[in-house]
Chain A
Amino acid sequence: MTGTSRTIKVDTLARVEGEGSLYIKLVGERVTDVKLKIFEPPRMFEAFLRDRHFSEAADITARICGICPIAYQMSAVHAIERALGLRIDPAVRLLRRLFYCGEWIESHTLHVYMLHAPDFLNYADVIEMARDHREVVEKALRLKKIGNRIVQILGGREIHPISAAVGGFHRVPTKQQLRELVPDLEWALASSCEAVQWTSSLEFPIFEQDYEFVALRHPDEYPFNEGRLVSNRGLNIGAAEYEDHFQELHVKHSNALHSIMRGRGSYLVGPLARFNLNFDKLPAVAQEAATKVGLHPPVKNPFRSIIVRAVELVFACAEALRVIREYEPPAAARVEAPNRAGSGQAITEAPRGILYHRYALDDNGLILSSKIIPPTSQNQRRIEDDLREYASHLATWPLDEATWKCEQAIRNYDPCISCATHFLKLHVEREEK
């Protein structure tokens, strides 16, 4: 094999949200080039937002992604609330956490069962998997529906919710409306614990990397939408300092910008980062689910992210039940948000990792400029670094199998390419000399 040149190309990455393309060049066992290519007209949302009133930001940014609209809305409203100096009712804060629970449940369920699990069980897709594991897939559909239901009750509809607003919500649910979710959520909690067991029984490649994990950390809770930004290598900053420590780069082969830590390089955001940096903040039921299957931080094998997502499903169901138990409707659904010049930043934890928003407003409340950095673009460089290392392990594999394993390695990150670029078309070119 020494000196033999091989190229792994995937024309269309399957089972990722959006479109992406992969190119890997191997000479012998050495990976000489890796490109995760994103072919989509550059993101225009930051331009769409210019000169719009801040009250429209939640609606506009929700359309960046159909799978994680809540994270976009919440990052937007938090950043704008910071710019305006608004304080939020504690009941609204609770509802926002419930909102995240809904999104994490539907997003993680989709990824664990429909997008990622087929890889581990050697099925081409979930449809093939459903023929042999019907009960598992039916449970997944029911679990996803519960997440969708939370989003619908709080947000007004499942996709691109309409209720989130600067200062709170346009409308809040009654205690009774939320209580109706309890039986389903109790089922979901038990089902999620089973998901941890089930995913831990899958077979995982032996592959670990020395990552810099980056996630929010809050003194009292597993993070959704508040906290400082920390890493396992000493980072500890507020959202306002994000751009001092992180940089976006335009790379020739991609229309998604790559993010790096200044002076450091690639980093990893998402469930592994949150789990490794916040295990102590998980509720007991989630910690127990993890330790029962031998999962404890630091988890450095990205393939095991499927188990971590299942643990986060346990957390999201338990947290949803807690919020519903404690919730009392606020005196007002939202506080008034005056037009005022200012700027503000916010970071929240989308299912795939930290999502950064920054807004500058003028005296009339119009958006002068904005910046939106999604988790998948932050992970892009890290995905390529993983592939550079992992593909060298596959140098002696048949090309088809090696290609499929590389796609699986990308799916470890649950990439939402629609957020990162709004459609990435994957082209695989095969070349053997």
Chain B
Amino acid sequence: MQIIGCGNVDRGDDRAGILVAERLRDLGFRAEIHTGDALALLDRWPSDEDVIVVDAVVMGMPHGTIRVWDVGSAGAELPDFAADAAVSSHGFDIAKAIELGGALGKLPAHLRIYGIEGRQFERGAGVSPAVLGAIDSAVQRILAEVRFP
């Protein structure tokens, strides 16, 4: 199991994925931080392992909502992120990277995306209380998933 937390430490709620990965790493899991562009993920995730990617999303869900997508080379649903790709702070966003990975046969066998609905993304902003709470919940859910597959 490989956990990858994505985001930008300078942009408020966009830190969510990074904070989840850091908490899991402290608990002894193989968790890494990815702050680079989403295209680089295509080389980072192992193709023969289960992978969980955690990132902030903006989808019009209630603030702090966690949504999980089951993706992977099995061809299951892709994240239905906002069509407005401009909300991604990564440029080429994760949804596009996953779709491209699918087109190139570069997805892990099992890939789950944890999306945490954020609201404040201004440069220098802190993480909102709703997302801080969601981070706790996300960590618990991933722990449960790993212990009880």
Whether, in the assembled complex, B143 has its beta carbon less than 8 Å from a beta carbon of chain A, the answer is no
In the complex the two chains form, what is the Cα distance from A130 to B106 in whole Å?
12
Give the B interface residue count (CB, 8 A).
24
Question: Binding site of B, secondary structure by majority: helix, strand, loop or mixed?
Answer: loop
- Find chain A residues with CB under 8 A from B86 CB: 12-13, 18-19, 423-426
Which one of A127, A131, A134 contacts B96 once the chains associate, using CB atoms below 8 Å? A127
Asked whether, in the complex, the Cβ of B104 is within 8 Å of the Cβ of A137, the reply is yes
- CB-nearest residue of chain B relative to A132? B103
A63 within 8 A of B: yes
Q: Return chain A residues, CB-CB under 8 Å to B124.
A: 48
Q: Is B85 an interface residue (CB 8 A)?
A: yes
B92 partner residues in chain A, CB cutoff 8 A:
110, 114
Q: Which residue of A63, A134, A141 is within 8 Å of B10 (Cβ)?
A: A63
Contacts known (A127-B103, A134-B103, A144-B39); A66 close to B90, Cβ less than 8 A: yes
User: Which residues from chain B contact A230 at a C-beta distance below 8 Å?
Assistant: none
Interface presence of B76 (CB below 8 A): no
Chain A binding site: helix, strand, loop or mixed by DSSP? loop
A420 to chain B, nearest CB (A): 13
B100 within 8 Å of A (CB atoms): yes
Taken together as a complex, chains A and B put the C-alpha atoms of A63 and B90 apart, in Å, by 12
- A-side contacts of B84, CB under 8 Å: 12, 19, 425
B37 on the interface (CB 8 Å rule)?
A: yes
In whole angstroms, how far apart are the Cα atoms of A125 and B124 in the complex? 32
Are B96 and A148 interface neighbours, CB within 8 A? no
Contacts A137-B104, A425-B86 given; indicate if A66 touches B91 (C-beta within 8 A): yes
**Chain A residue at minimum C-beta to C-beta distance from B10:** A63
Taking the closest CB of chain A, its distance from the CB of B27, in whole angstroms, is 25
Is A14 an interface residue, CB under 8 A from the partner? yes
A 1-41 contacts with B by CB, 8 A: 12-14, 17-19, 41
Q: List 20 A-B contacts (CB under 8 A).
A: A12-B83, A12-B84, A12-B85, A13-B86, A19-B86, A66-B91, A67-B91, A110-B39, A110-B92, A127-B103, A131-B103, A134-B103, A137-B100, A138-B104, A144-B39, A157-B35, A158-B36, A159-B35, A422-B123, A424-B86
* Besides A13-B86, A134-B103, 17 new A-B residue pairs in contact (Cβ under 8 A), listed by A number: A12-B83, A12-B86, A14-B85, A18-B86, A44-B123, A66-B37, A67-B91, A110-B92, A114-B39, A114-B92, A127-B103, A130-B100, A137-B103, A144-B39, A145-B40, A157-B35, A423-B86
